[in-house]
Amino acid sequence: MEFDRVVESYIPVEERIKNYQEFTQPLPESALKDQGARCMNCGIPFCHSGCPLGNLIPDFNDAVYQGKWEKAAKILHATNNFPEFTGRLCPAPCEEACVLGINENPVSIENIEKSIAETAWAKGWIKPEPPQSRTGKTVAVVGSGPAGLAAAQQLNRAGHQVTVFERDSKAGGLLRFGIPDFKLDKSVIDRRIEVLIAEGIEFKTNVEIGVDIDALTLKSQYDAVVLCGGAAVRRGLTIPGAQLNGVIQAMDFLKGNNKSVSGELNTPPISAKGKHVIVIGGGDTGSDCIGTSIRHGALSVSNFEIMPQGTPERPAHQPWPFYPMRLKTSTSHKEGAERFFSISTKEFTGDAQGNLTGLKTVQVAWEQINGSMILKEVPGSEKIWKADLVLLAMGFTGSETKVAEQLGVTLDSRTNVQASEEDYKTNISGVFAAGDQRRGQSLIVWAISEGRQAAHYVDTYLMGSSCLPLKEAGDLPRV
């Protein structure tokens, strides 16, 4: 290999934590070409299978290598409506499946993707392309997260009149309110929404279906409805002291902060400034809480994860090219959080005013019994921690059921909307579901993928057949 892997570097921690701006340093064009050249044009590009969107990775890598950025942008957009989002936020399962990854560092696919997208924006190649003709059919998309936006754009391309309903003040869903600006500057969402509007998609914000408009009414007004409401029900911690002031759901914390950054609010409603912060949950949301807390000026930030500490290497049972569960250190972790693994919180403690003062934990061990992993507390490992603010970032348990109930849509055991990947149809004719609301909490690439796939089937439902592209089977399974 002539070149080694290079990825975007970051502005130093002490600088970047002073504000909420993105802190990645884009690679120069020459470096990107070299990175494109590392792609080996594999006989079987496993990356292409590792990517839930089925991005044509070898093809855009080659275009970048040849300096044909417009061609690259075209190839990229053929499978991905919003590469500027995934180029920033995706955990890049493609890179885990990269053939180079067997014995070298994989191709920096995600950086290349982002650069293609940003170049396309900068050069003005991304412009509204309204459909040449309209079908006269109308579609309501409920929810404006990545799944909803993707479905909306695809359906609009097919010529349908699409209306997107968003209960929040602005479109974007978790992208806008869940992801801190230092990871995704909100102008990146805005410019995309502008294009979508110019292409003819109507956005109705501050309208909550099921509350402001009855879902059945909505259904009667549109030829098809696509439910993209996400998996919004947060996992809580039902232990003593959970009601104390200072035990906060991560999403509330992050959303408030994002609104303050955007100027919608003057200050963050919940501040970590001068506080000892404990973030429970070692995932991406946990990291976002860490980075935000540090920017607030927290005294200390600790991060708890109930699972044992992974290794940087792949576990044996998740060999290449499968997506491995391994120790990942996010940029936020590097900004000054201490991490604790195999730790379970038993109780929150508070003062008489009902304010949080700390929490009690116990170390846990995982044992395999009869094929399933069982959690066991380690005797004598109890510990008491001081804490002023605990942020619960333990994921989501399922979707909100209000709309489904009004429509009579069947839910699965996890309260997600039941619809198969074969056609994204719910049990109610004309009602479709996509994204986390169907799938349960997942990655942004999956959300976009679902939105695209669902759009094809909605189009088929409306027109009898569809020209919208469909990703064919071939997703690498999870092991």
Partner 1 sequence: MPLVQQGLYHPEYEHDNCGAGFICSLEGKKSNDIIHKALEILEKLEHRGAVSADGKTGDGAGILIDIPHQFFADVCPFALPEPGQYAVANVFLPQKENQRSFCIEVVEKHLKGQGLHLLGWRNVPVNRSVPGRIAAETEPFIQQLFVGKADENQSISSFNLQLYIARKKAEHEIINSKLSQLGFFYIPSLSTKIIIFKGLLMPEDISLYYKDLQDSRVVTRLALVHQRFSTNTFPTWDLAQPFRYMCHNGEINTLRGNLARMRSREELMKSDLFGPDIKAILPIVLPGKSDSASMDMVVELLLMTGRSLPEVMMILVPEAWEKNDQMSSTKRAFYEFHSCMMEPWDGPASIPFTDGNYIGAVLDRNGLRPSRYSVTKDGYVIMSSETGVVDIAPENVAMHGRLEPGKMFLVNMEEGRIVNDEEIKESIAQKHPYSQWVAENLVHLRDIPYNDCPLFIGESSLEKRKSVFGYTLEDINSILGPMGKSGYEPIGSMGTDTPIAVLSDRPQLLYNYFKQLFAQVTNPPLDGIREEMITDISLTLGSDFNLFEVDPAHCRKLKIQNPVISKEDLDKIKNYGERPHFQVANLSMRYPIAQGHNGLENALAQLLEDAEKAVDNGQNIIILSDRYTNAEYAPIPALLATSYVNSGLQVRGKRSQLSLIVESAEPREVHHFALLFGYGASAINPYLVNEIIAEQIENGELTGITFEAAVENYNKAVGKGILKVMNKIGISTLNSYRGSQLFECIGLNTKTVDTYFPRTTTRIQGIGLYEIEKEIAKRHQNAFGTKEISASLDLEIGGEYRWRRDGEKHQFNPITVAKLQKAVRNNEPNTYKEYAQLINEQSKHLMTIRGLFEFSNFDPIPLEEVEPWTEIVKRFKTGAMSYGSISKEAHENLAIAMNRIGGKSNSGEGGENPERFYKTPEGDWKNSAIKQVASGRFGVTSNYLTNAAEIQIKMAQGAKPGEGGQLPGPKVDPEIAKTRNSTPYVGLISPPPHHDIYSIEDLSQLIYDLKSANREARINVKLVSEVGVGTVAAGVAKAKADVVLISGYDGGTGASPLTSLKHAGLPWELGVAEAQQTLVMNDLRNRIVLECDGQLKTGRDVAIACLLGAEEFGFATAPLVASGCIMMRVCHLNTCPVGVATQNPELRKKFKGQPEHVVNFMYFVAEELREIMAQLGFRTINEMVGQVQKLDRKKVIHHYKAAGIDLSPILHQVKVPHGTKVYNTQKQKHHIEESIEFSIIEKAHPALYRKEKMSLDFPIKNTDRAVGAIISNEISKNYGAQGLPDHTLKINFTGAAGQSFGAFATKGLTMVVNGTTNDYLGKGLSGAKLIVRIPEGSTLRPDQNVITGNVALYGATSGEAYINGKAGERFCVRNSGATAVVEGIGDHGLEYMTGGVAVILGAVGRNFGAGMSGGIAYVYDPNNTFKGLCKEPGLNLWDVDQAEDKVQLKSLIEQHYNATHSPLAQEILEAWEYELPKFIKVFPEEYRLALKRIEEETAATQV
- Binding interface with partner 1 (CB under 8 A): 40-46, 48-50, 54, 56, 58-59, 68, 74-75, 77-78, 81, 97, 99-100, 102-104, 129, 131-133, 157-159, 316-317, 319-322, 467-472, 474, 476-477, 479
In angstroms, the CA 174 to CA 153 distance is 18
Name which of 93 and 210 has its Cβ closer to partner 1.
93
User: In angstroms, what is the minimal distance from the CB of 457 to partner 1?
Assistant: 15
Name which of 10 and 125 has its Cβ closer to partner 1.
125
In angstroms, the CA 419 to CA 423 distance is 7
Name which of 97 and 356 has its Cβ closer to partner 1.
97
User: In angstroms, what is the minimal distance from the CB of 354 to partner 1?
Assistant: 52
In angstroms, the CA 420 to CA 439 distance is 9
User: In angstroms, what is the minimal distance from the CB of 76 to partner 1?
Assistant: 9
Name which of 43 and 380 has its Cβ closer to partner 1.
43
User: In angstroms, what is the minimal distance from the CB of 438 to partner 1?
Assistant: 21
In angstroms, the CA 441 to CA 167 distance is 19
Distance between the two ends of the chain, CA-based, in angstroms? 30
Q: Which residues pair with 280 in a beta bridge?
A: 304, 392
Of 442, 472, 441, 435, the C-alpha closest to 149 is 435
How open is the CA angle 449-454-456, to the nearest 5 degrees?
105
Name which of 39 and 278 has its Cβ closer to partner 1.
39
Look up tokens 């919004």; give the residue.
Answer: 232
Where do the DSSP E strands lie in 167-322? 202-205, 224-227, 233-234, 247-249, 276-280, 300-305
Name which of 106 and 286 has its Cβ closer to partner 1.
106
User: In angstroms, what is the minimal distance from the CB of 184 to partner 1?
Assistant: 22
User: In angstroms, what is the minimal distance from the CB of 107 to partner 1?
Assistant: 12
Q: Which two tokens stand for residue 416?
A: 């997600």
In angstroms, the CA 205 to CA 199 distance is 18
Name which of 49 and 111 has its Cβ closer to partner 1.
49
Residue 427: strand, helix, or coil: coil
The residues, ordered by sequence, that sit 6+ positions from 313 with a Cβ below 8 Å of its Cβ are 326
User: In angstroms, what is the minimal distance from the CB of 128 to partner 1?
Assistant: 9
User: In angstroms, what is the minimal distance from the CB of 364 to partner 1?
Assistant: 27
Look up tokens 């942004």; give the residue.
Answer: 444
Q: What b/e string do you get for 207-243 counting C-beta neighbours within 10 Å, with b at 16 or more?
A: bbbbeebebeebbeebbbbbbbbbbbbbeebeeebee
Give the 3-state secondary structure percentages of the chain, helix then strand then coil, rounded to 5.
35, 20, 45
In angstroms, the CA 24 to CA 143 distance is 29
Name which of 77 and 235 has its Cβ closer to partner 1.
77
User: In angstroms, what is the minimal distance from the CB of 2 to partner 1?
Assistant: 11
Cβ 365 vs Cβ 379: under 8 Å = no
Name which of 97 and 270 has its Cβ closer to partner 1.
97
Q: Which two tokens stand for residue 218?
A: 């909505």
Name which of 357 and 449 has its Cβ closer to partner 1.
449
User: In angstroms, what is the minimal distance from the CB of 176 to partner 1?
Assistant: 23
Cβ 242 vs Cβ 360: under 8 Å = no
